[in-house]
Amino acid sequence: MAPLTIGVVGAGTMGRGIAQLAAQAGIAVLLLDTAPGAVEAAREAITADADKLASRGRLSPERAAAVAGLVRPAATLLDLAPCGLVVEAIVEDLAVKQALFQALEGVLTPEAVLATNTSSLSVAALAAVCQRPQRVAGLHFFNPVPLMKLVEIIEGPATSPEVIAFLTALTRQFGHQPVAAKDMPGFIVNHAGRAYGPEALRIVSEGVAEFATVDAIMRDAAGFRMGPFELFDLIGLDVSRRVMQSIYDQFHQEPRFRPVPLVAQRVAAGLLGRKSGKGFVTSPASPAPVAAKPDRPVWVSGAEPEMASPLIAALEKAGVVVEHGSEPSPQAVILLTPLGEDTTSAVLRLGLDPARTLSVDMLFPEARRYTLMPSPATSEPWGASALAALAATGQPVSLIHDGTGFVAQRIVAQIVSIGCEIAQQRIATPADIDLAVRLGLGYPHGPFALGDRIGPRRVLRILQAMHAATGDPCYRPSAWLRRRAMLGLPLAAPD
Ligand SMILES: NC(=O)c1ccc[n+]([C@@H]2O[C@H](COP(=O)([O-])OP(=O)(O)OC[C@H]3O[C@@H](n4cnc5c(N)ncnc54)[C@H](O)[C@@H]3O)[C@@H](O)[C@H]2O)c1
């Protein structure tokens, strides 16, 4: 069998990365682009990048030296005839991609594989115009291709298992990590990513917290590398907006993916993030209010013993007087540790004094920041006492307005629920979803590992409480999550 030659059509951001990756693996590439000079510019950029990788010890000097010779220009589609695989990375337009695949079928052998790098179009729609739809699949890379190790391999309704196996093995040969996904909007990564930013936007839109506060909580309490708004600024809000709207529309207005009006306004105002020099995070979070020395005893409700005990331990370690009676004394500031509830609902349910009650998010006991949430009835001096008690531990404190599920609880619960929905819809396996989310989105854990660390029952309780309080169907828990939580099974348990 002749050695594989890969054709890459489109020598822009993605095409040049794909060509580079294949050449670095020692595979011959033919690169084609309709824009004059695009292929030459891409070849120069590829050689320069391979040399840079070699100088950093990330690619052997022999491999880097071979790259230039392995990536050759193709002048016309006919030149691609010897290719066993053609990957298209051209403009994101269905009709243009369909025309390209039809033309390629006239040039290539019947065994050749046609792969699309599309992010948002359906592989099925692309394959539908082809004579051999079984040879068509998605091969979805991430930018920058040489560094982002994840590749989603998308199976259309007609794709043959042999084609999927070929692309999976090839991805491994590239040194990248394949994950398998069905041809559904957003595949895995752009689907699973519909919780972090969108839920953060809802929090701000509801007036619960400001942008920088949400970021600080997600970094310091939930362990994310970047806050959701820093991430929007990095990606560009115009790009994120298109993805949010496209997934929402393609899932027929699924409430979980509902965008907030704030986004369109900010895009119209040119507040796109780094690319326009102005974005969400232009200033650090408002400084935490200066806390005086703890001046009152604290009583922590035992309604959620597992959440309350690490808080009590931390307060006592800091020298704060903690009352252990079954009821608070009249001098005590009252702290609750609810799941999914706002302070208003929790204090009324427990029959406590709203004027001296606040809530603390204890979902992540190892958090390096407290989130403190009064209700509208909490009176100022009692709020200041609660702040002083938490500040005595030495941890920063973020003060937010009353809202269901604080900040971290509701964002992580949505990440888990949407991840579970992807498994429920059989788009991908839990293991592949977790891998795709870690590598593609850079989260510290995938939705299944995250949900199992927190405890599926807790995640379910957060969502059920939020759903009950708001009536918003966006918080209805995934059936996959609900069943496993009720049965006491780990989230990755198959059925
Ligand atoms: N940029 C990303 O982060 C990213 C990530 C994943 C997937 N994608 C997808 O990859 C594809 C390419 O995106 P990009 O960012 O590299 O775009 P790009 O604009 O950087 O490059 C596209 C290239 O294709 C060429 N081209 C357009 N029509 C052509 C045709 N009919 N024949 C040959 N060449 C043609 C253009 O001249 C251009 O050089 C799109 O489908 C996009 O959705 C992009």
pLDDT digits (tens, 9 = 90+) for 387-398: 999 999 999 999
Handedness of CA 201, 434, 477, 138 (dihedral sign): positive
- CB of 102 shorter than 6 A to ligand 1: no
Residues in the chain: 495
The number of C-alpha atoms within 13 Å of 455 and in the hemisphere containing its C-beta is 10
- CB of 13 shorter than 6 A to ligand 1: yes
Q: How far apart are CA 231 and CA 18, in angstroms?
A: 24
Residue with tokens 């691609």: 80
Q: How far apart are CA 396 and CA 304, in angstroms?
A: 23
Ranges of residues in the chain with a pLDDT under 70 are 1, 282-289
Q: How far apart are CA 284 and CA 436, in angstroms?
A: 31
Which residues is 299 bridged to in the sheet?
323, 334
Q: What is the pTM of this model?
A: 0.96
Alpha helices, DSSP H only, in 72-192? 94-105, 123-127, 161-173, 189-192
Q: What angle do CA 430, 433, 439 make, to 5 degrees?
A: 140
Residue with tokens 């559904």: 184
The number of C-alpha atoms within 13 Å of 135 and in the hemisphere containing its C-beta is 19
Closest CA to 336 of 316, 321, 353, 320: 353
Distance 15 CA to ligand 1 centre (A): 7
- CB of 96 shorter than 6 A to ligand 1: yes
pLDDT value at position 495?
87
Q: How far apart are CA 219 and CA 185, in angstroms?
A: 29
> What atom in ligand 1 is closest to the CA of residue 16?
16
- CB of 89 shorter than 6 A to ligand 1: yes
pLDDT value at position 285?
63
> What atom in ligand 1 is closest to the CA of residue 118?
41
Percentages of the chain per state (helix, strand, coil), in multiples of 5:
50, 10, 40
pLDDT value at position 281?
84
Q: How far apart are CA 79 and CA 31, in angstroms?
A: 10
Q: What does DSSP say about strands 136-140 and 150-155: parallel, antiparallel, or unpaired?
A: antiparallel
What's the whole-number average pLDDT of the chain? 96
Strand locations in 289-414, DSSP E? 298-300, 322-323, 333-336, 357-360, 370-374, 397-399
